[in-house]
């Protein structure tokens, strides 16, 4: 079984994020980066399936600058077999749909039975790319899964996802796309032999030209969503304590809610 | 000159950091409070399949081939979480495993180093005795030749992993006349051998989760093929092992020091006094600045020395300098950390109190600060110029 996992390199979860001077990006000075935690569930699920079937290939794919190779290498160290790195300066300024177009073109070149994504990247939290790719490739998708089972015949898979007050069980014919939610599995650690072998595993680098795409298809000019500005959330002001007896405090609270907070 | 860690070393650091955050930090207080060696043994069982227990050794001996640099990265990261765990792994890899790696023949490495590197067996290193600490050459445990065997009689004290180990490297006297000049021999002893007994020592200021024991050898017979290197080479093996392990001990202090800075900054930002977070006060900021300046020196000398060691250089002076400086710097740092935490830092529920107790022994074990100064001075004087 050929399994692809689309991953993204994101700032580490504990990073302190602030806007860059131009307000169009975050300040990336001194940030450390990790594989998007939701994508790690996808990698783990792919590895589990490969182990369970005792055959198959797990390919990790990412779009990103030179540095993103670290994220791919981490996935190879954990156990993925090969990696595809798509990098091209023309991708700057694209949106989730642009990203999806690029990944769809890359996925088309492989013959994948199963494609995993994280349910969202923890940097922009859009949660759209996996679903866009499914649409572009005309494949069924199940988003936000927390349990996955491959049917014995290998032609279908059953996935569970949490919905308001219930669990939904969805069957999909393969090839299909699944986006991974917490609780799907417990991602394993990279092993030392894995780390030492990571560099020897195949790493393919593609530009837009290799995917028959151009900046007009997937660059800033193709984006339907434009980033206007990144700002920090407003600083929360200190709370107010109302002293005095209860009757007075309640009437004062009502007055403040009405006149200052204007919520009544 | 290139001061970057390799991609493999960075991935190792990320992986160990994740491991420590998930498997070590959450139980570190419990390990200390309960003197819970069992929890550390559970951690070792999880670390072994990842290859963490054989980091510095070549692959053919079950290791990861990541050298001293890799080993220092491991100990630094482990010490962010729990010094008891770090010391347990340090004695296993850096003392027991390293003695066999440096002094052993191929058969011994295959039979004894490999199971240590894969974590199948646990190792200990037994040099110190009730009457031989800093003056290690004065050890009294006797090893008398008897046919195909040596017969060991004597006592070893404060042996890390002593009562949880399967394999102990024991240093004994084969020729009382020669002592350190060819009279001391290293033996690989399986702890299932009749005549071996170990008594746990519980009452320690720090490192309360690590298993420290007194080992008693009573007419214990070791086959001659378990002599490490050759008869009389023991002291040389012991000292070469310590050169390396002093460096890795210094690496461990870096992790504790960095964790203490993080804890202190977090605390100082939250703690309010005189209507403002105490981090606004210069008195606190200067302490943090001094801590940061020391950590930078610590990591600079440790990784430079680890690099030298991996290039095949001997590091008696440099290892001693790292051990001396880092153990003393950590004590200065942990003292400031407790000061910043105020009363909270004195209370057992706060990890900084554990770090304070755990750090003190670094200036004592594997050669006191005074012994390190002797080693450094001897080397400087021998060379005559700097």
What single string gives the DSSP state of each residue in B33-62? HTT-HHHHHHHHHHHGGGTGGGTTS-GGGT
Give me the pLDDT at residue A237, please: 80
Domain B236-383 has CATH 1.20.140.10: yes
Q: Note whether A14 and A114 are same-domain residues.
A: yes
C-beta separation of B137 from B180 below 8 A: yes
Residue A227 lies in a domain: no
C-beta separation of B261 from B288 below 8 A: yes
Q: Fold for B7-122, please state it.
A: Butyryl-Coa Dehydrogenase, subunit A; domain 1 (1.10.540)
Give me the pLDDT at residue A14, please: 84
C-beta separation of A74 from B11 below 8 A: yes
Which residues of B carry out catalysis? 366
pTM reported for the whole predicted model: 0.90
End-to-end Cα distance, chain B:
22
Q: Note whether A130 and A246 are same-domain residues.
A: no
Residue A38 lies in a domain: yes
Residue A130 lies in a domain: yes
CATH code for the domain in which residue A212 is found: 3.40.50.620
Sequence-ordered alpha helix ranges (H) in chain B: 7-19, 25-33, 37-47, 67-81, 83-90, 98-103, 106-108, 114-117, 234-270, 282-310, 316-341, 343-346, 351-359, 369-383
C-beta separation of A227 from A121 below 8 A: no
- Angle A55-A60-A64 from CA coordinates, rounded to 5°: 175
Q: Note whether A60 and A155 are same-domain residues.
A: yes
Give me the pLDDT at residue A261, please: 85
Q: Note whether A159 and A261 are same-domain residues.
A: no
Give me the pLDDT at residue A59, please: 98
Give me the pLDDT at residue B289, please: 98
Q: Note whether A18 and A97 are same-domain residues.
A: yes
Tokens coding B27: 């139980």
Q: Note whether A58 and A146 are same-domain residues.
A: yes
Sorted by where each begins, the domain ranges of chain B are: 7-122, 124-234, 236-383
Give me the pLDDT at residue A241, please: 87
Q: Note whether A126 and A200 are same-domain residues.
A: yes
Residue A77 lies in a domain: yes
Q: Note whether A24 and A83 are same-domain residues.
A: yes
Give me the pLDDT at residue A240, please: 84
Name the architecture of domain B124-234. Beta Barrel (2.40)
Q: Note whether A72 and A160 are same-domain residues.
A: yes
CA distance A74 to chain B (A): 7
Interface of A with B (CB under 8 A): 34, 70, 73-74, 77, 189-193, 195-196, 198-199
Q: Note whether A56 and A129 are same-domain residues.
A: yes
Residue ranges of chain A with pLDDT lower than 50?
none
Give me the pLDDT at residue B352, please: 98
Cβ neighbour number for residue A210 with a 10 Å cutoff: 15
Select the residue of B7, B14, B64 nearest A192 (Cβ to Cβ): B64
Give me the pLDDT at residue B117, please: 97
Residue A85 lies in a domain: yes
Residue A228 lies in a domain: no
Residue ranges of chain B with pLDDT lower than 70?
none
Q: Note whether A149 and A243 are same-domain residues.
A: no
Contact residues on chain B for A74, CB-CB shorter than 8 A: 11, 14
Q: Give the range of the structural domain holding residue A255, as residue numbers without chain letter.
A: 234-264
C-beta separation of A61 from A107 below 8 A: yes
Contact residues on chain A for B8, CB-CB shorter than 8 A: 195-196, 198-199
Tokens coding B184: 């001391």
- In B, minimum Cα distance to A193 occurs at B64
CB contact under 8 A, A196 and B66: yes
Q: Note whether A263 and A200 are same-domain residues.
A: no
Cβ neighbour number for residue B385 with a 10 Å cutoff: 4
- In B, minimum Cα distance to A187 occurs at B18
CA distance B305 to chain A (A): 22
Give me the pLDDT at residue A236, please: 83
Total domain count, chain A = 2
E strand intervals along A64-112: 82-86
Select the residue of A70, A189, A199 nearest B15 (Cβ to Cβ): A189
Compute the distance between CA of residue B264 and CA of residue B289 in angstroms, rounded to an integer.
11
Give me the pLDDT at residue A260, please: 86
Contact residues on chain B for A70, CB-CB shorter than 8 A: 7, 10
H/E stretch holding A1 = none
CB contact under 8 A, B7 and A74: no
Give me the pLDDT at residue B255, please: 98
């Amino acid at each position: 079984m050929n399994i692809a996992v689309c991953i993204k390199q994101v700032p580490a979860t504990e990073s302190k994020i602030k806007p860059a001077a131009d307000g169009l990006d975050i300040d990336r000075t001194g940030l450390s980066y990790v594989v998007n935690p939701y994508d790690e569930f996808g990698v783990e699920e792919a590895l589990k399936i490969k182990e369970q079937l005792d055959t198959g290939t797990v390919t990790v794919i990412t779009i990103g600058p030179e540095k993103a190779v670290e994220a791919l290498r981490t996935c190879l160290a954990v156990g993925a077999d090969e990696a595809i790195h798509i990098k091209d300066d023309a991708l700057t300024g694209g949106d989730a749909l642009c990203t999806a177009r690029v990944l769809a073109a890359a996925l088309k070149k492989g013959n994948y039975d199963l494609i995993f994504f994280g349910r969202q990247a923890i940097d922009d939290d859009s949660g759209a790319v996996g679903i866009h790719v499914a649409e572009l490739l005309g494949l069924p998708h199940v988003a936000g899964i927390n349990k996955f089972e491959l049917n014995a015949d290998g032609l279908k898979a059953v996935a569970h996802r949490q919905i308001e007050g219930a669990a939904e069980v969805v069957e999909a014919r393969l090839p299909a796309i699944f986006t991974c939610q917490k609780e799907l599995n417990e991602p394993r650690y990279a092993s030392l032999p894995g780390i030492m072998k990571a560099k020897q595993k195949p790493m393919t680098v593609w530009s837009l030209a290799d995917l028959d795409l151009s900046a007009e298809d997937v660059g800033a000019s193709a984006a339907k969503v434009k980033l206007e500005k990144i700002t920090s959330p407003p600083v929360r002001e200190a709370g107010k304590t109302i002293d005095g007896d209860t009757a007075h405090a309640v009437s004062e609270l009502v007055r403040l809610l009405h006149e200052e907070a204007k919520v009544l | 000159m290139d001061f970057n860690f390799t991609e493999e070393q960075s991935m190792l650091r990320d992986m160990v950091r994740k491991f420590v955050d998930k498997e070590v930090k959450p139980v570190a207080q419990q390990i200390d409070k309960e003197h819970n060696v069992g929890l550390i043994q559970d951690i070792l069982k999880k670390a072994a399949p990842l290859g963490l227990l054989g980091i510095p050794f070549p692959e053919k001996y079950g290791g990861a081939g990541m050298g001293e640099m890799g080993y220092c990265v491991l100990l630094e990261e482990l010490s962010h979480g729990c010094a008891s765990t770090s010391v347990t792994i340090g004695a296993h890899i850096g003392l027991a495993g390293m003695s066999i790696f440096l002094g052993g023949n191929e058969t011994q490495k295959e039979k004894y180093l490999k199971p240590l590197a894969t974590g199948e067996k646990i190792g200990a290193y037994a040099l110190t005795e009730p009457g031989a600490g800093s003056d290690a050459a004065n050890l009294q445990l006797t090893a008398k030749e008897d046919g195909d065997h040596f017969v060991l009689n004597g006592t070893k004290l404060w042996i890390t992993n002593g009562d949880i180990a399967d394999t102990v490297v024991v240093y004994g006297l084969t020729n009382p006349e020669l002592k350190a000049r060819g009279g001391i021999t290293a033996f690989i002893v399986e702890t299932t051998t009749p005549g071996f007994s170990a008594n746990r020592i519980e009452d320690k200021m720090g490192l309360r989760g690590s298993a420290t024991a007194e080992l008693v050898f009573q007419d214990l017979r070791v086959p001659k093929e378990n002599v490490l290197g050759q008869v009389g080479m023991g002291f040389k093996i012991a000292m070469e092992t310590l050169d390396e392990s002093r460096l890795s001990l210094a690496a461990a202090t870096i992790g504790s020091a960095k964790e203490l800075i993080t804890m202190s900054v977090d605390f100082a930002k939250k703690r309010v006094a005189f209507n403002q977070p105490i981090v606004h006060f210069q008195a606190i900021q200067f302490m943090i600045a001094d801590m940061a300046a020391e950590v930078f020196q610590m990591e600079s000398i440790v990784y430079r020395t680890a690099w030298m060691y991996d290039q095949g250089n001997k590091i008696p002076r440099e290892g001693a300098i790292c051990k001396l400086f880092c153990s003393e710097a950590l004590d200065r740092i942990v003292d400031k950390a407790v000061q910043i935490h105020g009363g909270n830092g004195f209370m057992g529920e706060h990890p900084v109190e554990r770090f304070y107790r755990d750090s003190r022994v670094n200036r004592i074990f594997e050669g006191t600060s005074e012994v390190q100064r002797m080693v450094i001075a001897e080397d400087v004087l021998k060379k005559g110029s700097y």
